[in-house]
Amino acid sequence: MTYLDEKNTRTALKNYGVNFLFLEETDSTNEHLKRVLSTSEFSDPIALVAERQMKGKGTKGRQWADDPENCLKFSMLVEYKGMEKYLPRLSPLLALNLAEIFQNLDPSVRIKWPNDLIKDFGKLSGILIEAVRKDEKLFLIFGIGINLFNSSELNREVNRKISYLFEEKKQEVLRRSEVVEKLVISVLKTISSCVEKDDIVFCERWKKLDFFYDKIISLQSPTEQLTGIEKGITPSGELKLLTDGKIKEISNGELSIVL
Percent pLDDT > 70 in the chain is: 91
Is the pLDDT at 239 greater than 90, yes or no? yes
Instruction: Calculate the average pLDDT of the chain.
Output: 88
What DSSP state is assigned to residue 188?
H
**194 and 211 housed in the same domain:** no
- The per-residue DSSP string of 99-162 comes to HHHHTTT-TT-EEETTTEEEETTEEEEEEEEEEEEETTEEEEEEEEEEE-S--HHHHHH-SS-B
**126 and 219 housed in the same domain:** no
Query: pLDDT digit string (tens) for 38-57?
Result: 988 778 899 999 998 886 55
State which residues form the domain around 20: 6-200
Question: 137 - beta bridge partners?
Answer: 134
**196 and 214 housed in the same domain:** no
Among 159, 185, 200, residue at a domain's last position: 200
Amino acid at 57: K
Residue 240 within any structural domain of the chain: yes
Amino acid at 205: R
3-state secondary structure string across 53-76: ECCCECHHHCECCCCCCCEEEEEE
Q: How confident is the model at residue 197 (pLDDT cuts 50, 70, 90)?
A: low
Question: Residue 203 belongs to what H/E stretch?
Answer: helix 200-209
Is the pLDDT at 252 greater than 60, yes or no? yes
Query: pLDDT digit string (tens) for 8-42?
Result: 999 999 999 999 999 999 999 999 999 999 988 77
Lowest mean pLDDT among 76-90, 98-112, 192-206, 209-223: 192-206
Q: Give the neighbor-by-neighbor strand order of the sheet with 239-243.
A: 246-250, 239-243, 225-233, 216-220, 256-257
Comparison of pLDDT for 193 and 90, the residue scoring more: 90
**234 and 118 housed in the same domain:** no
pLDDT computed for residue 55 by the predictor: 66
**79 and 127 housed in the same domain:** yes
Question: 77 - beta bridge partners?
Answer: 46, 141
Lowest mean pLDDT among 94-108, 120-134, 197-211: 197-211
Is the pLDDT at 259 greater than 80, yes or no? no
**212 and 179 housed in the same domain:** no
pLDDT computed for residue 185 by the predictor: 96
How many structural domains compose the chain? 2
**149 and 175 housed in the same domain:** yes
| Three-state secondary-structure class, residue 41 | coil
pLDDT computed for residue 194 by the predictor: 66
Question: Whose CA is closest to 3, among 71, 76, 57?
Answer: 71
Question: Residue 42 belongs to what H/E stretch?
Answer: none
CATH code assigned at 43:
3.30.930.10
Query: pLDDT digit string (tens) for 150-182?
Result: 888 777 777 778 999 998 888 888 899 999 999
| Three-state secondary-structure class, residue 21 | strand
